[in-house]
Structure 1
Amino acid sequence: MTKYLISFPAPAMVIPQEDWIAVSDASHAVIREAKRAGVYVFGGGINEAVAPLMVSADGTSTNATYPQTKEFNGGFCVLELPSREAAIEWAAKIAQACRCAQELREFGYDPES
């Protein structure tokens, strides 16, 4: 089976304040469904209150990102699924729950990971 990243940037969620509880409940319901189905690997939201840290091979670190990384925020989940079609179905469920489009990416297979 293949692992898929389903994600969205924080600005994509334009939700009226009064709808946040419903969106949260709906998104948690989809994740519970994925867990029951045995396809959930992990997921969460990027903590924007903590600055990204660039760590070099010698262990030194700086508060930075790669120059081409403009912004990385929002939420994501990784699901392990039998097909791209199944991944599209799950991405649609998450999009409906979160009320915003989801980006779907496929992880390359690596027998060592």
Structure 2
Amino acid sequence: MTKYLITFPSAAMVVPDDELPAVSDASRAVVEEAKQAGVWVFGAAIDEGVAPVLVDGDGTVTEGTYPQTEQLDGGFCVLEVPTREAALAWATKLAVACRCAQEVRAFHYDPAS
């Protein structure tokens, strides 16, 4: 089976404050459904209050990200499903729950895992 990264940036999720609890409940329900289906690997929201750093091979730590990298924020999950169509179906459920489009990317297959 292939692992898929499903993400959305913070700016995409435009929800009135009074609707945020409902969105949170809906997204948690999809996460629970994915866990029950056995496809959930990991997921979380990026802590935007903690600045990213780059760590070089010699251990040097530099504030920031790669210059060509756009800001990474929002939420993400990794699901392991048998087909791309299954990944797109889960992304649809997340898009409905979070009220914003989800980006889907496949990880390369690792025969050692």
TM superposition score category, shorter chain reference = over 0.9
Matched with 1:5 is 5
Alpha-carbon distance in structure 1 between the residues aligned to 2:41 and 2:85: 18
Alpha-carbon distance in structure 2 between the residues aligned to 1:3 and 1:91: 13
Matched with 2:63 is 63
Task: Tell me if 1:44 matches 2:5.
Answer: no
Alpha-carbon distance in structure 1 between the residues aligned to 2:108 and 2:50: 29
Q: Report how many residues are paired.
A: 113
Alpha-carbon distance in structure 2 between the residues aligned to 1:67 and 1:45: 23
TM-aligned CA deviation for residue 112 of structure 1 = 3.5
Q: What is the correspondence of 1:1-113 to structure 2 with a 5 Å cutoff?
A: 1-113=1-113
Runs of 4+ in 1 over 6 A off after TM superposition: none
TM-aligned CA deviation for residue 68 of structure 1 = 0.7
TM-aligned CA deviation for residue 85 of structure 1 = 0.5
Alpha-carbon distance in structure 2 between the residues aligned to 1:22 and 1:16: 11
TM-aligned CA deviation for residue 111 of structure 1 = 2.3
Unaligned runs of 5+ in 1: none
Unaligned runs of 5+ in 2: none
SS in 1 for 2:47: coil
Q: Which amino acid aligns with 1:53?
A: V
Q: CA RMSD in A?
A: 0.8
Alpha-carbon distance in structure 2 between the residues aligned to 1:107 and 1:28: 24
